[in-house]
Chain A
Amino acid sequence: MRRDIINAPAIEFQDVSYRYPRTKRWVLTHLNFKIEQGEFVALMGENGAGKSTACLMMNGIIPNSVGGRLAGKVLIHGLDTKETGISVMATKVGIVLEDPETQLFTTSVKSEIAFGPENLCLPVEEIEERVQWALDVVRLTGYEDRLPSSLSGGQKQRLAIAANIAMRPDILVLDEATSQLDPVGVEEVLQVVHDLNKKFGMTIVMATDASEMIARLMDRVMVLDAGTKVVDGKPREIFSNTGLFKKLMIRSPQVSQLAVQMEEAGHSFTEFPITVSEANTCVQELLKGTRVSTVEANKKNGVVSEESAITVEHLDYIYQPLNVHAVRDVCFEIKQGEFVALIGQNGSGKTTILKNLLGLLHPTKGKVVVAGQDTRTTAVAEMARHVGFVLQNPDQQLFAETVEDEVAYGPKNIKLGQELIEKRVAESLELVGLEDKRKEFPPALAKGDRAKVVIASALALDPSIIVLDEPTTGQDYRGCHQIMQIAQSLHEQGRTVVFVTHHMALVAEYAQRVIVLCGGKVLLDDVTESVFSKPDVVRQAYIIPPQITELGQALPPELGLPPTPLTVQTMSTAILDRLNHRD
């Protein structure tokens, strides 16, 4: 790796403040930090804290390409980004963005990687060599001629990394680059990032909240809040800082959450854990000399009736004209009042199945009956009265000028009376907690609120079934839990809730039942606990159980702790229970 100025830090922010063009709000305020060459730093914080802005500043896209007002200095190896051309910066800092689609724009893996070096006017032999090297590093050798759009999510992000490292930067910035991926996809990307850091000494900055996955890889965590740095330190120090986590909603590893809960109950672990193996040792030491007590199984409330809400019989779906067989012989029945998660790899058929439930797609073979209606013969607009379907991206579902008009849009379409519309709007907004935002322009709301408006809009039709397609993607920790709390309260009202997500901690905490899809087929369909008790099976579907469940599985069975704990709470209660029975 090249060093331009040996003594200067890789990245230095000197009293940086910034606001976007045509806005008044300072997104970053007096931000100061240094990152040395070879460090692996995680940038954490809630949505709107300024993480993405800080990332885009590191390669000079802000302000050179975006504009806006930048006070202070951003120095990369001592070079002021404001005075350095974007193309020069591109050879020093690579950046991988959240959405795989927008950063891949050619028609083959090879040409995607060659795009940057070609722009740098490098000789053909050199480009060929760099392409091969980059392919090797991200483990995509053999994929040269594939269409980027045909790759899986994890492969796409690895390709985006390859396309950046082919320009031989010594810093790689990843802005939420794993947040749309399934757990195994996240693991694949992190493995590559880890190699770049360890083998090639590359500086890594990762804005992410996948703290469990990166805990063992990173050297340092920097937490931003409202545009400024709140804390900066080693992962163990940060995750054990209980005061911080009371103030900010940031995802710390579940085993760290467990340690915090134990501490609050007056029992300290010998060492503060951030990984499963550390927690394993800690728990065993803490429980030395205690007696085995009876374990209570996880219980989830909600009333399930005998009435069928959704029946899918031998569903096959083939996308035309290219004959893509997305769903094969899928059968399941969901009773009214159930809370079900549909999980699996990107492209495993989840969204196709959901679309079949609403009649947005019609089965190629088989039959789908929802709320007593055969979807083949019922119009989508009619189905919408029985099933509230919230699509993945809220921004594609906001049409109105104000939040209240948005929510009233559905009821108006089915021609409800003015009074009833008012009532439905008020109830729906109350349920999602947006009563005070009635007059606002929906697209201008914060990300979490936009998602809630869309949920309220579906609820305004008073459906007995709610289907949520990746409602938590792109949401921060607070947003995820708020949305799942809403789903939980709908479930408690007796509605059927079906959701798709890649966040296994949320599946474990909220779902009663899990349907695991793999290659368009049902791999497992069971209560949540038994699904996660088979880690080897779910791994085929690119699923990794939540960290706390992994801890439960790693602990020796003779300790008598729950073998498949679904939440941190279950685990801490069980441990405390044991400690209270100490001889």
Chain B
Amino acid sequence: MSSLIAYYPGKTIFHRLDPRVKIIFMLLISTAIFTVKSILIAGLVLLLMVILWFVARLPLKVLMSFMKILLGIIFFLFVVQAILYPGDTPIIKPLIPIGNGIGQITLEGILFAVLLSLRLMAMIILLPLVSFTTPVQSFALGMVKMGLPYKLAYTMTTALNLVPILQAEIGVIVDAQRLRAMKSFEKGKLGEKLRAYPALVTPLVIGSMRRAQLMAVAMDSRAFGASKNRTYLEDEHMETRDWVFLFLSVLITAGMIAGNYLF
């Protein structure tokens, strides 16, 4: 599985945006998307995300792999919503009436399931769209410029950076167990799988602590946090394109919210 947190180097306009703008963009859209009640608007937001994905020249394959993972969840949501959502326009009636409309698949149920799926897909593109195009140090810089102390900002972004490393580490430990004839990860029942997981903890905790210690040594040796101020080689300044993008983000957000009243 691909990680949501990684950096794909590039020089596209989206890569070059000020990290503050990208952070605000992410916060605005991800909040507004939950208020959207119209399929049309949710669809447009999703389309926008996909367009931005191409603008940022991120690999299509990675997008597809996210969608593949989502497919299961979407299917599940679809079934649950379609069955449980109360509605007045039944399409398929249950063979045995249960009452209160439960069990019957309604048009409203299906529409709501479509809306939820669109929101979910837009969200899952939004996060990597920003994290894939922003190096950790710009992220940190963005947060510093927004008022966070440098050490805190850098520690937060470094923690984010550790996510893919931890994912890889879990993968290796699971492999190590499979190599010792542990079947549960391949075709075990859920109960068996759950029983197999505690064995992951010891190596994972020991490994992470060791890594964290070494990383602290390396960072200290490079004068991390030597003073409250610090030079930034690649300093960020809001340029025209940043202001324009920020303006557009606010406009889109406003549109998303206003759309609720129009449709």
Rounded to whole Å, the gap between the CB of A455 and the closest CB of chain B is 12
Q: Is the CB of B207 within 8 A of A396?
A: yes
Q: Is the CB of A384 within 8 A of B218?
A: no
B93 within 8 A of A: no
Q: Is the CB of A121 within 8 A of B231?
A: yes
Please name the residue on chain A nearest to B170 by beta carbon.
Answer: A396
Q: Is the CB of A399 within 8 A of B177?
A: yes
Q: Is the CB of A395 within 8 A of B218?
A: no
- Interface size counted on chain A using CB atoms at 8 A: 72
Q: Is the CB of A414 within 8 A of B137?
A: no
- Interface size counted on chain B using CB atoms at 8 A: 57
Rounded to whole Å, the gap between the CB of B135 and the closest CB of chain A is 4
A275 within 8 A of B: no
Rounded to whole Å, the gap between the CB of B233 and the closest CB of chain A is 4
Measured in the bound complex, the distance between the Cα atoms of B96 and A397 in whole Å is 54
Q: Is the CB of A59 within 8 A of B221?
A: yes
Q: Is the CB of B214 within 8 A of A99?
A: yes
Measured in the bound complex, the distance between the Cα atoms of B165 and A156 in whole Å is 17
A147 within 8 A of B: yes
Q: Is the CB of A391 within 8 A of B172?
A: yes
Q: B62 is contacted by which of A167, A321, A358 (Cβ under 8 Å)?
A: A321
Interface centre among B7, B59, B231, by most chain A C-beta atoms within 10 angstroms, is B231
Q: Is the CB of B221 within 8 A of A90?
A: yes
Q: Is the CB of B215 within 8 A of A358?
A: no
Q: Mark A61-80, 1 if CB is under 8 A from B, else 0.
A: 10001100000000000000
Q: Is the CB of A90 within 8 A of B222?
A: yes
A413 within 8 A of B: yes
Please name the residue on chain A nearest to B140 by beta carbon.
Answer: A106
Interface centre among B62, B65, B182, B232, by most chain A C-beta atoms within 10 angstroms, is B182
Q: Is the CB of B136 within 8 A of A107?
A: yes
Measured in the bound complex, the distance between the Cα atoms of B206 and A99 in whole Å is 16
Could you say which residues of chain A place their CB within 8 Å of the CB of B180?
384, 397, 409-410, 413, 457-458, 461
Could you say which residues of chain B place their CB within 8 Å of the CB of A461?
180-181
Q: Is the CB of B223 within 8 A of A119?
A: yes
Measured in the bound complex, the distance between the Cα atoms of B175 and A393 in whole Å is 12
Q: Mark B130-174, 1 if CB is under 8 A from A, else 0.
A: 000001110000000000000000000010010001000100110
Q: Is the CB of A61 within 8 A of B224?
A: no
Query: Given A103-B214, A360-B178, A65 and B220 touching (CB < 8 A)?
Result: yes
Rounded to whole Å, the gap between the CB of B178 and the closest CB of chain A is 4
A102 within 8 A of B: yes
Could you say which residues of chain A place their CB within 8 Å of the CB of B222?
90, 115-116, 119, 163-164, 167
Top 7 A-B pairs ranked by shortest CB distance? A87-B226, A103-B218, A107-B135, A321-B61, A116-B222, A399-B199, A87-B223
